[in-house]
Amino acid sequence: MNSASTTAIKFDFEVDEMVDSAREATDFLKSIAHEGRLMILCRLAEGECAVTDLEELLSARQAAVSQQLARLRLEGIVDARREGKSVYYSLSDDRIQTIIPVLYDMFCKPD
């Protein structure tokens, strides 16, 4: 019976780790689960980009793009750099460089 108790405790510990990992993954996926944010991240995966270029990419007003960029900054996914009157964004989370090619292969790659 002692052996079963030890196994149960070990199992509970692994479940706790799994729950923590699932929560972290869910939070990360929520942060990118928006059409506009995903398009921004796909563009930034190619390199740094000015806000004005992102506005053109999304065919959206500056306020809408800024709202999405603010969410990505809050989540620690992008960094901003100001040069004169322009603001440039780049990726700051290496997980994006890993997931964007996977998403491209799954949803964008020509057959």
Contact assessment for residue 37 and residue 72, using Cβ atoms and an 8 Å cutoff: yes
Give the model confidence (pLDDT) of 2-11 as tens digits: 555 555 555 5
C-alpha distances (whole Å) from 29 to each of 78, 110, 111 are: 15, 24, 26
| Average per-residue pLDDT for the chain | 90
Q: Check residue 14 and give its pLDDT.
A: 85
pTM surpassing 0.85? no
Q: Check residue 43 and give its pLDDT.
A: 97
pLDDT-derived band of residue 111, with 50, 70 and 90 as boundaries? Answer: confident
Give the model confidence (pLDDT) of 10-48 as tens digits: 556 688 888 998 999 999 999 999 999 999 999 999 999
